[in-house]
Each structure stands twice: as C-alpha cells, then as structure tokens.
Amino acid sequence: MSPVFPLEIFYDGSCRICSAEMASYRKRNHEGRLLFIDISAPEFDPAVIGKGREELMKVLHVRDAAGQFHLGIDAFISIWESFPPGSAPRLLSVLVGFPGINLLARGGYHLFARNRHLLPRKASDCRDGSCRMS
C-alpha cells in the first residue's frame, strides 16, 4: 500500500547512523514530503501519537497523512517512495520490493535494529564517559 504524503518519520536522534540517514533525506526533501521527529528529544511526548517510547525505539516508524503506520523496512520503502521517479531512493524502493531482496533487507534491518544500542552514540548523549542507552 502506497503511503499518503507527507510522512512523519519518528527516528532516534541519539543514534549516529539513524541521524546520518535522516540528514541525507532531509537534504533531498525539496518538496517537503518528509517531516522529521526525533523521538530521543526530551520534549517529544509519544503519548500524542498513541505509542510508547520503548515501542518507537525498537524500529523506525513512519506515519503517513492517512494515519497509517509503516514500520522497519516498510518505513524505509515509504520514505524512498517520496522521492521523484528515477531517483536512487525511488529505485531502491522498487528493488527492495522484490521477494528475495525484501527478505534479506528485513533480516538485515532486524539485526541492525536489535543491536544498534551497541553502537557508539552521539557525543552530545554522553556525559562522564557513559552514554544514554535508549
């Protein structure tokens, strides 16, 4: 099911890889089809969208304009579909739609999502040598 734009992207801003990925999308978001919400920010209230912070931290969540949530790889596919036809992200959305590639992408993302807390956090989230774990 194709998403209805704009998309709200609920991402972990304390994760270096997640932040870098969102920064690359932000630079190419010329039509304003993507809205970025950092769920690690202290002012973010997950109750507003009816989800818990712990649930949101497990996998990438995207909510489209129709209120439909897309999770994990489906969230990425939704994001990539927001880019113009013929662009690299749009082609990636098609490629990841193929069954074998989709299965590999889901498995790879699942491993990343489960273990990303082991990766170094952003320096701003570290104090006295210990980093905040989400």
The 10s digit of each residue's pLDDT in 82-100 is: 999 999 999 999 999 999 9
Please, which pLDDT band fits residue 123 given cuts at 50, 70 and 90?
Answer: low
**Which of left, alpha, beta for 34 (phi over 0: left; psi -120 to 50: alpha)?**
beta
Whole-number pLDDT of residue 16: 92
Q: How far is CA 110 from CA 27, 72, 86, 107, in A?
A: 26, 8, 28, 5
Both tokens assigned to 77: 């596919």
* Chain centre distance of CA 118: 18
More confident residue, 134 or 5: 5
Residue-level pLDDT at 126 = 47
What is the band of 120 on the pLDDT scale with cuts at 50, 70, 90? Answer: confident
What is the Cα–Cα distance from 80 to 43, expressed in whole angstroms? 28
Tokens of 66: 């129709």
- What mean pLDDT, rounded, does the chain reach? 91
Cβ 79 vs Cβ 18: under 8 Å: no
- Output the pLDDT for position 122: 61
pLDDT at 117 exceeding the cut of 70: yes
For residue 91, the cross-strand partners are none
Cα distance between residue 94 and residue 4, in whole Å = 17
Looking at residue 87, the DSSP 8-state letter turns out to be S
Residue with tokens 């596919």: 77
Determine what percent of the chain is predicted with pLDDT higher than 90.
Answer: 84
pLDDT, mean of residues 76-87: 96
**Stated pTM of the model:** 0.87
| Residues whose CB falls within 8 Å of the CB of residue 97, separated by 6 or more in sequence, listed in order | 77
Q: For residues 122-129, give the mean pLDDT.
A: 50
